A and B are shown apart, each in its own frame.
Chain A
Amino acid sequence: NAGVMQNPRHLVRRRGQEARLRCSPMKGHSHVYWYRQLPEEGLKFMVYLQKENIIDESGMPKERFSAEFPKEGPSILRIQQVVRGDSAAYFCASSPLGRMGGAAAKNIQYFGAGTRLSVL
């Protein structure tokens, strides 16, 4: 069972370009979370999605950022018109459907290796 897969691992963009970050959750997991780690800072929650639904986007910047988790395919975090301040490591995590006593009941999230975005 492969872990959470994120790609690309490294992404370089010029100011004003678009960045698309992909996350394939672990097999059987239908909950996806995105976190951002700015240089020398801790991880900050961005958004929580289930298949075809955004559940909590309280950590998403109001402009330029969007996320989706379609019925088929990976979750996508999209950043439009990137600026230098968007340079960070973006981590995705997934967890399974809720069931009593299982990993979901404990809210165990499994993390990917991250995408490191550099904006020139």
Chain B
Amino acid sequence: KQEVTQIPAALSVPEGENLVLNCSFTDSAIYNLQWFRQDPGKGLTSLLLIQSSQREQTSGRLNASLDKSSGRSTLYIAASQPGDSATYLCAVTKLGAQKLVFGQGTRLTINP
């Protein structure tokens, strides 16, 4: 059974800092991995999707890496801003399946 873990559960940093969020998964037979953002009381916004054959994806100040063999992914946020404050969720899809398996998220607070 696939399990996804995100560390830390919460993170608070001053504005302008670079930061890394971590995601680990127990079954390396994944199809892809996605990072989402969730704002309080809102739905999920997809940030980055990495196919199992890829090592990383970049979008603006965000960079996500994937090491399938070790079961790890990181989300790097450069030059953090207060608007980045949200919960960040990591989710994987297993080969041959459609459902997403989510981690419990990292609650990020960027202090002005």
* Given known A48-B98, A112-B43, contact A41–B51 (CB-CB < 8 A): no
Chain B residue numbers with a CB within 8 Å of A93 are 44, 100
Q: Chain B's nearest CB lies how many Å from the CB of A22?
A: 15
Nearest residue, chain A, Cβ from B97: A56
Number of residue pairs A-B, CB distance < 8 angstroms: 60
Chain-B contact segment, one of A61-69, A71-79, A101-109: A101-109
A34-76 Cβ-contact flags toward B at 8 Å (1 or 0): 0100000111110010000001101100000000000000000
Bin the interface of chain B by size: 20 to 34
State whether A42 touches B104 (Cβ < 8 A).
yes
Interface residues on A, range: 20 to 34
Query: Which residues of A have CB within 8 Å of B102?
Result: 35, 42-44
**Is the CB of B103 closer than 8 A to any CB of chain A?**
yes
The interface of chain B, by Cβ under 8 A from chain A, is 4, 31-32, 34, 36, 41-46, 49, 51, 89, 91, 93, 97-105
Determine the chain A residues whose CB is within 8 A of the CB of B97 once the complex forms: 56
Given A107-B93, A113-B42, A31 contacting B105 (CB threshold 8 A):
no
Contact yes or no, A108 B46, CB < 8 A: yes
CA–CA, A55 to B96, complex, Å?
Answer: 12
A-B contact pairs, 5 of them (CB 8 A): A33-B100, A42-B105, A45-B101, A95-B98, A111-B45
| B45 surroundings in chain A (CB, below 8 A) | 111
Asked if A114 is an interface residue, CB under 8 A from chain B, the answer is yes
Contact assessment for B44 and A91 in the assembled complex, using a CB-CB cutoff below 8 Å: yes
